[in-house]
Amino acid sequence: MPGLLSLSLKRISPFVLGLLLTQPALSDSNSESSEQQTSGPSADTAPQGRLPLRELRNFTEIFERIRSSYVEEVDDKTLLEYAINGMLTSLDPHSVYLQPEAFSDLQESTSGKFGGLGIEVGMEDGLIRVVTPIDDTPAQKAGIKSGDLIVTLDGEAVMGMNLSDAVDRMRGEPGSEITLEIRRANEKELLTFTLERAEIKVASVRTETLSGGIGYVRITQFQEKTGPELNKAINQWTSAPEPLNGLILDLRNNPGGVLDAAVEVTDVFIDDGLIVYTQGRAANSELRFSATEQTSAADIPVVVLINGGSASASEIVAGALQDHQRAVIVGTRSFGKGSVQSVLPITEEKAIKLTTARYFTPNGRSIQAQGIKPDIWVEQSEVTPYERRVYKESDLHGHLKNQDGRPQSDNDNAQAKDQAEDKTISSNELLKQDFQLYEAHTLLRGVTILSPQMAKQKAESKTEPKTTAAQNDQ
């Protein structure tokens, strides 16, 4: 066996030879010492911290076979990079080897500006699955949907491509075109989309004021400035003359982003307690994040919208607010990405993105492959109100007059005001096109109506026992 080892070593590259010879603790499962340890590790495993010599022999043998027999010549550097990439991508869908361009793209995406189609993707069964299209991008405007499977890129099958290669093909100069063939659930034929690439500038926080004093906040991606932008928007609302009666936090199709940003967003709504914690093998992967007392929306009723495109940092926020009973979660079950990726630089231009921990909600729930289940399940659809003539008592000839002392004109004005408000709600484009948002808005309107009554009842209930006791003493 030693002779066979020396024969193999003569044929492999100097780089791999150096790797083998500089390891002080190789485990040779076929050596005499290993054969005598009948109660020790199996022949296919090595003690912790020691490299398995048999597997290293297999690697060097395969490496040499490829160098000498593959149909086209491949240099050693490329083969070793392929080996590294395969080692990482085989671990899970989110671990990857970041070459200079991919490393730069990752840094750009967390800052909110990058080029391409505006589509968040992942690998599934050799195909590229759309996690979510980003708002106001070529992918979203063309009708790409969360859950779509990309089958071909410019006519070339994606089967066999790694994720980095597929992403590289979708990126390109703004104005250039790319054709995607997509497999979609409940569609018999492949769908074809021709998209024009654009410079993608992602606005992390978008706000709008809905009727009834309801604020709407759409977070498209968690970036470095997401927390401050959200605080700024809420402070503008709360300092306005009109009261802020409730807030809808829209995290649908939000693929996640920076963990610290998710913590900052959650901290806007709670002033005490755990937000999220992580657990991993390395000591520095054990992290805990808690709320601070400085919060700008501690008492505002909140509804959080989620769906199958809500992933990672979005699930951290939704899970924390749900565990603290601080918000009502509305929509459909989230994506279920409960793992943490750390970017570990190898050189100034290269890095690995490695899954290093799982994260847990304050109540200890792991969301990995499970997702967040909404408190109120609402499927997406369009709101389609229809008009019809409804006759009321006041329309009948000879109806009795109201005896409250108000002129008929006042009653007519009040009715007209109610109709105008209802028309404003139904004509709001966001609410009209988005049933989940419509339901969230309706829920918050109900809370706005009930909250003063509940507060009044609570205040009265506190004084009733004292009054009864005083009466008993008399």
87-103 pLDDT, tens digit each: 999 999 889 998 877 66
Domain 205-377 has CATH 3.90.1200.10: no
Burial of residue 470 (CB within 10 Å: 0-12, 13-18, 19+) is exposed
Q: Note the pLDDT of residue 200.
A: 78
- Residue tagged active-site, from 337, 339, 353, 434: 337
What are the residue boundaries of the structural domains of the chain, listed by start?
2-28+49-74, 113-201, 205-377
Output the pLDDT for position 474.
Answer: 44
Maximum Cα–Cα distance across the chain: 114
The backbone torsions φ and ψ at residue 309, rounded to the nearest 5 degrees and listed phi first, read -90, 0
* pLDDT tens, residue by residue, 125-156: 778 888 778 788 899 999 998 889 999 999 99
145 is catalytic: no
pLDDT category of residue 280 using cuts at 50, 70 and 90: very high
| Residue 118: predicted pLDDT | 87
pTM of the model: 0.71
> Which residue among 27, 95, 310, 312 is the active-site one?
312
User: Which entry of 105, 267, 323, 434 is annotated as an active-site residue?
Assistant: 323
Residue 433 predicted with pLDDT over 50: yes
Distance of CA 82 to CAs 79, 85, 164, 264, Å?
A: 5, 5, 12, 38
How far apart are alpha carbons 335 and 223 in whole angstroms?
Answer: 19
Q: 201 an active-site residue?
A: no
Q: Quick one: pLDDT at residue 424? A: 45
Distance in angstroms between the alpha carbons of the first and the last residue of the chain: 104
422 is catalytic: no
Choice between 467 and 246, residue whose per-residue pLDDT is larger = 246
Q: How far apart are CA 324 and CA 322, in angstroms?
A: 5
Least confident stretch, 284-288, 320-324, 353-357, 383-387: 383-387
At 411, the pLDDT band (50, 70, 90 cuts) reads: low
Cα–Cα distance measured from residue 95 to residue 158, given in angstroms and rounded to the nearest whole number: 19
Which CATH architecture fits 113-201?
Roll (2.30)
Q: Taking all residues of the chain, what is their mean pLDDT, rounded to a whole number?
A: 81
